[in-house]
Structure 1
Amino acid sequence: MTGHVFVVGADLRRLVCDDVLVPTDRSLRVTPSWRGLLPDDVVTSEDRGGVCLDLRWRGDERVLELPGGRVGDAGRALWLVDTVHQEERDPDDALRWLVDGAREALAAVARREVPDPVQGRARRLVALPALGTGWGGAAGQRGTLLQRLLPVLHEGAAEHGFDVALVLRGPSDLAAAQRVRRAEAGSWDLPGHLRELAEDLGDRARRGQLAAFVGAGVSAAAGLPTWEQLLDELAERSGLDDALRGGLSGLPAQDAAALLARELGREQLEGFVKERFGPGHYALAHALLADLPVQEFVTTNYDPLVELAAADIGRDLSVLPFDDAVPGRPWLLKLHGDAAHPESVVLTREEYLQFGDTRAALAGVLHSLLLTRHVLFVGTSMQDDDLIRIAHQVRSATRAPGAAPRQRSGTVLALLEDPARARLWEQDVQTVAIAPADTPPAEAARLLEVLLDCIGCLSTPPTGYLLDPAYRGMLSAEERALAEALQQVERTVPEGASSSAVGEVTALLRRLGSQVCTPDGPPPDEASAPHDDRLQEQRPG
């Protein structure tokens, strides 16, 4: 069974996966950023320069599994990979040596059996940074490294049957990797209709016409409960007798929640929500969605995983209605409240009714998106009362006398075929089934990730690395001439200038891979992450 290679902007330390490859050297020293993943008993010393590990290489091996099986609160296995050669090498030989190390690491990972992938995923997920671009010496040849590394990752995924996530942090890194993938044949094993859908949605995202709605199904892949599971967990805490607990299943979900809220008390309920849905590790789908060039996100989820995934690639989302919307900054609307503000959470029937009244302004934001954007719905069954009400109101507005016929205002990605539900919503949105009805849900969820990966690649602007010297080798003669002209502009930007004109120009240069910066620093959603694959500096979030 062939695995898939994902390319994603994320923080490797926070991504839900089964295995993580950690770059090191022959002295078995890693940078301090990896410290949170390491058990105390393998650390001999640590300072600002690095963390030394009490382990030993066996002979000339380059891959070493951290002893003790799975480690860390996300249950991931760590693999140390030697990426720092001790001798001076020809650049071409050095790159070959690094790529051979990646091949050896994937083979070593495959020898460890993982019968149950993390969070019920259909395939094991192995995650790694761009090996060798820090102390490994390939920092100035990142384009060539990606061109050689990606085929090796594809070979490993095909041979071993697991999925691989190449995790990058810098916008120029991501743009360059996506360019390499677009030139490769067979990067995505998708049915024809899903490939066509990816091309359509990727084009909409690239032109600024796409918004994203994130439902509970996305966060379930990070171990958070669905609505039904949440009610079960609340029932466990409630102390209701068996007869009452058994009767909960016969009540509508919002009424069951109302009874549980009454039994627990609002204070205890809010404390549970704040703890259960607080910051944690995010799923691959969170990162793939946060990577999209989308400015508007909406969710009914209480958790902060979308905004954490976005922050880890330098996109600072304003969380509405709690933050101010800032011109030019992407935003996320929390339609049903936020665990960081547990008093805002919408859970019971009464709160849903209040939503249609006192919280009408929030519904109006989604109304606007359905009228002015194409909304991509991911991880939702479209059974939420608020979504049904909002869709009805938009339908009524667009079907008014004299109104011109409109295209449907969104696309729902449903895991499995459900003709009746698709027919129910056909006036408002296009429903696309990821897989036939008899497909195991975990397989369908994985195929959804592959689709999101394809959309992300096709929506990534092909110019994000144009002014990054590490990718000069990837440029055509025409692109190099353009880059040289733009670098002349870069050199003429006045140091310390604060005019709006200079701000516009520097923002454009930064989007093209330049590291120029205004006195106050680059806007958070455009900031370039460190290029050192071993440093992986933590972004404030």
Structure 2
Amino acid sequence: MADLGHLFVVRGKLESVYCDALIVPTDSSAQLERTWDGVLSGVRRPKRLENGFARALRDDSGVPVWYLDVTERGDVSIDALVKHLSSVLEDVAAANLETTRARPLVAVPALGLAGGGHHGSAGAAIGRVMEALQAGADGIDIAFVLFSESDYAAAQWVRRQSGACDTDDALHKTQSRLADLARKGGLSLLIGAGVSIGAGLPSWTDLIEDLRSYLTQSQKDALGKLSVLDQAEYLAAVKGTKLGSVVANKIKVVQRPALGHLLLASLGCRAVATTNYDTLYENAVAAQAGAPMPTLLPYDGPAPGGSWVLKLHGDVDHPEDVVLARSEFIAYDAKNGPAGAIFQSMLLTTHLLAVGVSFRDDNILRLTHEVAGFVEAGGSSQKNELGTVLALGGDELQAAIWGGRLHWVAIGEDSDESLTQARELEIFLDHLAMHASVSSSYLLDPRYAALTEEDSEVIAAARAVADIVPKKPSARDRWKPLRDSLAALGYKHPASELPEAP
């Protein structure tokens, strides 16, 4: 019996996913669209395909790449695509892929939807491809990576309709509650080092271990008796300089986001705070089609109505601001008081979702306790829950400390394996992103007609209205709100219905 893995639906670019293997679409002669040039740099193209696929290696990283023929002897039907996809997944599952995850992660793009013959029947193709991906995930996890907003929205609708992720357990209820907050704009994020570990970056403790690698064993043993903050203080004193530049140089080499970053970015939260120095969350947002880059606070001026990321402990591009050693934490309030105030406003005005955060950071603890005390002093009769913490394996002591103020959610508590717990967190975020998806950008797009048959009369009427709405903007354009609403539902004037970039 197959040991089926999980099918993640991810919005972004294929090259933006930190994974263990790739599948890319081609034809029977292994020719690729120019779109994939950036994805497959350094890959030796196979000379021929057998049974609809061939395997190649990327020279620079060793990540295996499977070329998938999305046709069959000129047949560009969905049946031909699914047949070859099932064959290639069998080969991938049998390849014993190397991984740092609990299960290998295989990234698969929107096969055949852009220029591969199924652009005009995207709705039917997405459903069939997702069925094949789930059925073929034998011992592996698969990330179905969709660049187009409409493809992503359609895929999430297909999943919700299937009911496969619906359960009555506490985790599902938490996902539904958080998704509702995200849809209404009431959810903010606090992202910690635990998320970036999935991209190959070290934890805070591992970072200090790396920084002290040049010490003798006896020096390491003595240093190990100190807290992590005091270890960093000692290392800075020995080097005679702050550690910011050293840390930035070690971290900035990693640019590809982890799966968790991409799933969090798809929630569309306007306010995000992070204790991480890296730019992986920002890179995840940038990988989404049409998504504007968030403003980085305190380094950029805010864009009206736009999203922003608050860098609480500095940034790789501003190593002078990196907060790591004891003295830097002590001086934090004097130097970074406004940043702390912004974080506290997030706690007061939104529901904060903390991911990859241990809640042992002195600054985060102090700022959160101050807000909790402020709210309690206000005498509100309502239960004032400031946020939700997703904790790997659970933490009964922390849950007791923060009871009534932070909702502590145990992820992967049935396992003692950290990798298994990390995978359970990714699955939780995937289900959360599915429920939080609000876009209906496929609804009036005829390419997705297979998914909207039950609403065909309403859709025909809406398109008829859209066809007669004035198209040319004017100085006093009173039709713009309606045009924008119809465009958000996938309506395109016939002259503009051209294939989107993959």
State if a TM-score over 0.5 links the two structures.
yes
Distance 1:447 1:162 in 2: 14
Does residue 383 of structure 2 align to residue 383 of structure 1?
no
Displacement of 1:226 in angstroms is: 0.5
CA deviations 1:231-272 (Å, max 9, x no partner) are 111112xx4444433222111222211221233344774144
Does residue 83 of structure 2 align to residue 110 of structure 1?
no
Residue in 1 that maps onto 2:324: 347
Q: Contact 2:466–2:483 (CA<8 Å) still a contact in 1? A: no
Q: Contact 2:11–2:262 (CA<8 Å) still a contact in 1? A: yes
Displacement of 1:7 in angstroms is: 0.7
Residue in 2 that maps onto 1:172: 150
Q: Counterparts of 1:261-410 in structure 2 under 5 Å? A: 261-266=236-241, 269-314=244-289, 315=291, 316-400=293-377, 402-410=379-387
CA deviations 1:498-540 (Å, max 9, x no partner) are 7786665555344323458xxxxxxxxxxx99735xxx4xxxx
Distance 1:452 1:168 in 2: 17
What letter is aligned with 2:161?
A: A
CA deviations 1:33-72 (Å, max 9, x no partner) are 4334546573xxxxxxxxxx452234xx211001x4x654
Q: Contact 1:169–1:530 (CA<8 Å) still a contact in 2? A: no
Residue in 2 that maps onto 1:46: none
Distance 1:64 1:499 in 2: 57
Residue in 2 that maps onto 1:9: 11
1:359 match: secondary structure:
helix
1:399 match: secondary structure:
helix
What letter is aligned with 1:332?
A: V
Residue in 2 that maps onto 1:531: 500
Displacement of 1:457 in angstroms is: 0.7
Q: Contact 1:13–1:34 (CA<8 Å) still a contact in 2? A: no
* Pairwise CA RMSD: 2.6
Q: Contact 2:444–2:459 (CA<8 Å) still a contact in 1? A: no
Q: Contact 2:244–2:322 (CA<8 Å) still a contact in 1? A: no
Aligned in 2, Cα 1:497/1:251: closer, same or farther, shift over 3 Å? farther
Aligned in 2, Cα 1:71/1:203: closer, same or farther, shift over 3 Å? farther
Q: Contact 2:8–2:142 (CA<8 Å) still a contact in 1? A: yes
Distance 1:464 1:507 in 2: 11
The TM-score, its normalising length taken from structure 1, stands at: 0.85
Residue in 1 that maps onto 2:65: 78
Distance 2:393 2:411 in 1: 6
Q: Contact 1:391–1:428 (CA<8 Å) still a contact in 2? A: no
Q: Contact 2:46–2:55 (CA<8 Å) still a contact in 1? A: no
Displacement of 1:380 in angstroms is: 0.9
Q: Contact 1:317–1:330 (CA<8 Å) still a contact in 2? A: yes
Distance 2:350 2:256 in 1: 30
2:196 match: secondary structure:
helix
What letter is aligned with 1:81?
A: L
Residue in 2 that maps onto 1:519: none
Residue in 2 that maps onto 1:133: 113
Displacement of 1:491 in angstroms is: 5.9
Aligned in 2, Cα 1:502/1:328: closer, same or farther, shift over 3 Å? farther
Does residue 27 of structure 2 align to residue 57 of structure 1?
no
Choose 341-350 or 240-249, whichever is displaced more: 240-249
Displacement of 1:490 in angstroms is: 6.7
Q: Contact 1:490–1:509 (CA<8 Å) still a contact in 2? A: no
Does residue 79 of structure 2 align to residue 124 of structure 1?
no
Does residue 131 of structure 2 align to residue 151 of structure 1?
yes
Q: Contact 1:169–1:529 (CA<8 Å) still a contact in 2? A: no
1:343 match: secondary structure:
helix
What letter is aligned with 2:128?
A: R
What letter is aligned with 2:342?
A: V
Aligned in 2, Cα 1:378/1:41: closer, same or farther, shift over 3 Å? closer
The TM-score, its normalising length taken from structure 2, stands at: 0.91
Distance 2:10 2:441 in 1: 15
Aligned in 2, Cα 1:490/1:201: closer, same or farther, shift over 3 Å? farther
Choose 491-500 or 296-305, whichever is displaced more: 491-500
1:209 counterpart (171, 186, 204): 186
Displacement of 1:85 in angstroms is: 4.6
1:281 match: secondary structure:
coil
Residue in 1 that maps onto 2:159: 181
What letter is aligned with 2:450?
A: G
Give the aligned length: 495
Displacement of 1:341 in angstroms is: 1.5
Residue in 2 that maps onto 1:435: 412
Aligned in 2, Cα 1:183/1:365: closer, same or farther, shift over 3 Å? same
Distance 1:255 1:479 in 2: 66
What letter is aligned with 1:449?
A: E
1:303 match: secondary structure:
coil
Residue ranges of structure 1 left out of the alignment (5+ in a row): 43-52, 517-527, 537-541
What letter is aligned with 2:201?
A: L
Distance 2:299 2:498 in 1: 27
The one of the two structures with greater contact order (alpha-carbon pairs below 8 A, sep at least 6) is 1
Distance 2:450 2:489 in 1: 15
Q: Contact 1:261–1:269 (CA<8 Å) still a contact in 2? A: no
What letter is aligned with 2:226?
A: L
Displacement of 1:445 in angstroms is: 1.1
Residue ranges of structure 2 left out of the alignment (5+ in a row): none
2:392 match: secondary structure:
strand
Q: Contact 2:114–2:499 (CA<8 Å) still a contact in 1? A: no
1:24 counterpart (17, 23, 26): 26
Choose 310-319 or 282-291, whichever is displaced more: 310-319
2:4 match: secondary structure:
coil
Displacement of 1:287 in angstroms is: 0.6
Aligned in 2, Cα 1:483/1:413: closer, same or farther, shift over 3 Å? farther
What letter is aligned with 2:113?
A: T
Distance 2:379 2:165 in 1: 47
Q: Contact 1:14–1:281 (CA<8 Å) still a contact in 2? A: yes
Residue in 2 that maps onto 1:227: 204
Distance 1:361 1:251 in 2: 30
Q: Contact 1:414–1:432 (CA<8 Å) still a contact in 2? A: yes
Distance 1:174 1:166 in 2: 9
Residue in 2 that maps onto 1:49: none
Aligned residues with identical type, % of pairs: 34
Displacement of 1:182 in angstroms is: 0.8
